[in-house]
Structure 1
């Protein structure tokens, strides 16, 4: 019979957290320890590591549904509607600022406003994820909701460039980021087998926002002033975010210990996954920001250019749900890499588009596949984290690092556009995705070295 001394400290900790460990009978007959020294082949070690990563602690169960779990999905989707969905609609602001409000500024100047938003959406996760794991969702979601509504209202009265940077970029980004990470992290506490589908439904909220908000803005700008158009968005956010404040809540005990988890960076799978996502996001948002201005260059009307943003986001709605369902069956890593590859090809195709019809088709297809890339990343992240109570911190640290991509990607593309034209901007964007795909492939084979596997 194995003794307690034969267990590693990690195994004893896991056993002590199970109901069986509270019984002397079970402690008298523990599961034999795994002797890693007895594993000779490298392939077997990888298989063992994969099994540990994909398994969950035996004391933790997942509802996989029920009214409470689906209400959490609803509330989290609303936070994505108001946060990521709002920044997805920035292409409307970009074209309007260029043509009406800030005509003395270049495309890359204005892109900084949206890029600062993106930076704080991701960068705020560095702290929001740990706060969520340690103190719960409402501690951060309630003040973040207030901050976002205040940001939108202040944007409606801005006149100068620096005012838009402060109100829409910095304050708005902080509020959006503090909403985004807890809304994603909480899903991992309610779903395991259906996690990809649930994540897809939540992130589809951002697509819905990217569809509704540009259409709303386009119609209101024709009927009223810019100020009242933006204030209408603020009133909409104030009217629905209270639902998130009531429904988004954690179900697992709060995590104790250090604020961050440096141990994550000892895992090569995590490191390559974060690096791959960084490069993908570095190039991903160029079409979101600059397709409307490219449409104006092709001779489209301003209203039609605005609707392109809605078309792009409308197709990203199924793109954030269907791949999540498929990923639960065929592997989240596999589907994520496939989606990023198709999105990269479509960005290269942008170079051949010289008509309004072609741009509409490109926006539709890119919307679907880019939505898949964005929605699958949190699902992949949740898959490699052994303890669901740490998902928020792992995801938050990753988002914090990716904030640099959100901050610099679109301004770099905008600067290239201003100096060299759209060919340079598109080439930069697509090249970033190529590097990201290579890094994701490395992470995938570190996680599971088999060429054909559900991973």
Structure 2
């Protein structure tokens, strides 16, 4: 009793109780903080986090931007070769025939598809996305820098044809394989936006070369293109991330798909389509200048105009492809390309040339960008879609390899009627085979989404 009345005891007891209560609260707070810190880790390991992000997710949009830049510096540089073709014919390689010169661009585009469709597939599946982007960036920049130093035909074939082509191929698969992982809807539209980078590159790079070459020379004009590529390629190097990689390595060749008649027919059509598709890109400037209705400066800008039309051709039809199906668009668009190509020889003024370039660029751009979604609809096993695309790109690459050089040979032998008829006939055959593939797979009812 005395002890309980002692004020010093009461004070000591109160201090002890406060200390115990504070320790209890501190322990509780610490436990809550630890729980809060642990919860994100648990959530991160939860399978719920594996759900793909929505299409509006910032990371998804960054993949589209990265794919756009990769296409800008792969197909965009390939689409620039028409400007180099005109320059080589008049200056650096004036002793070579147009057919020989066109082999440079054809080899570049051939390797772009072969390396991008066949070689890089297993590397991507193994998880080396960043390595592909890095190697491709280094090769493209290095190839352009070496091209700026070239003075002989064989040197340009190696630098601009082989090195740039191989580097572009390393970048092509990441540009088209990553984006669908981030979109559950509007995949074709998102892919089309990224694919438009190739056309915009085909607009910007020729202008850069055309404006700078007379002022600072061929070497530095080409080097500046290399520096632009180096700067812009930092975007995909830093931003592109694959959400998933295949759990099993896919084979390079699937022999079973070769027994699928619609798949075979479509790829025969793709061969003819790519054989004829790029002939106007290489020769429209030379044709207009030789016919005398434009000067050398305006003739160059026709290449820019045809690439401008291709921008809209890669975006607008892909939007509708999500609704009606890619096969229902591919065949008629190839037919429109053939009609425009057959009218090539009637072009006799600047206005007609501009209209020709805009319309041909629009319809040809659609074919190039819609092949991937079309192959998805025809693939019998979507787990092997990467293999099937690689095999299909081989058909396309062969068409690209032979189309422009053959057009050059026909030009030397028959005049301009040769390239025009080859372009138009190849597009007609492409439309026929694609249409037969569509009917074989989905029947004659045209209202069916295919």
Normalising by the smaller structure, the TM-score range is 0.7 to 0.9
- The reply on whether 1:71 has 2:66 as its aligned counterpart is no
Change beyond 3 A, Cα 1:276–1:65: farther
Gaps of at least 5 residues in structure 1 are 1-58
Question: In 2 relative to 1, CA 134–65 (structure 1 residues): closer, same or farther, beyond 3 Å?
Answer: farther
Query: For residue 243 of structure 2, what is the aligned residue in structure 1?
Result: 251
Greater shift, 261-270 or 327-336, is seen at 261-270
SS at match of 1:254: coil
Whether contact under 8 Å (1:112, 1:410) holds in the other structure is yes
Q: Flag the structure with more relative contact order, 1 or 2, with Cα contacts below 8 A and sequence separation at least 6.
A: 1
Q: Given that residues 93 and 153 in structure 2 are in contact (C-alpha distance below 8 angstroms), is that contact kept between their aligned partners in structure 1?
A: yes
- 1:177 equivalent to 2:172? Answer no
Q: How many residues align?
A: 397
What residue number does 2:28 align with?
A: none
Are 2:330 and 2:431, in contact at CA under 8 Å, matched by a contact in 1? no
| Residues in 1 aligned to 2:174 and 2:381: alpha-carbon distance in whole angstroms | 16
| 1:148 is aligned to 2:137 | no
What's 2:159 paired with? Answer: 167
* 1:388-410 superposed Cα distances (whole Å, 9 cap, x missing partner): 66433322221123211111100
Q: Does 1:439 align with 2:430?
A: no
Is it true that 1:320 corresponds to 2:314 in the alignment? yes
Write the mapping of 1:303-342 to structure 2, written as runs, cut at 5 A.
303-342=297-336
* Superposition pairs of residues 273-422 of structure 1, within 5 angstroms: 273-299=266-292, 300-385=294-379, 390-422=384-416
Return the TM-score normalized by structure 1: 0.84
Stretches of structure 2 lacking an aligned partner (at least 5 in a row): 1-49
Find out whether 1:102 has 2:78 as its counterpart: no
CA contact 1:129–1:395 (8 Å) conserved in 2: no
Question: Which position in structure 2 is the counterpart of 1:133?
Answer: 125
Q: Which has the larger radius of gyration?
A: 2
Contact 2:277-2:423 at 8 Å conserved across structures: yes
Give the corresponding residue for 2:191: 199
Q: Deviations over 1:273-322 (max 9, x none)?
A: 22211110011010000001112112222221111111111111111100
Q: Residue 202 and residue 386 in structure 1: after superposition, are their counterparts in 2 closer, same or farther (change >3 A)? A: farther
Superposed displacement of residue 61, structure 1? 5.9
- What is the Cα deviation at residue 255 of structure 1? 4.1
Task: Give the TM-score normalised by structure 2.
Answer: 0.85
**CA deviation after TM superposition for structure 1 residue 216, in Å:** 1.0
The answer on whether the counterparts of 2:125 and 2:250 sit within 8 Å (CA) in structure 1 is no
CA–CA distance in structure 1, aligned partners of residues 114 and 244 of structure 2: 25
1:454 aligns with 2:449: yes
SS in structure 2 opposite 1:343?
A: helix
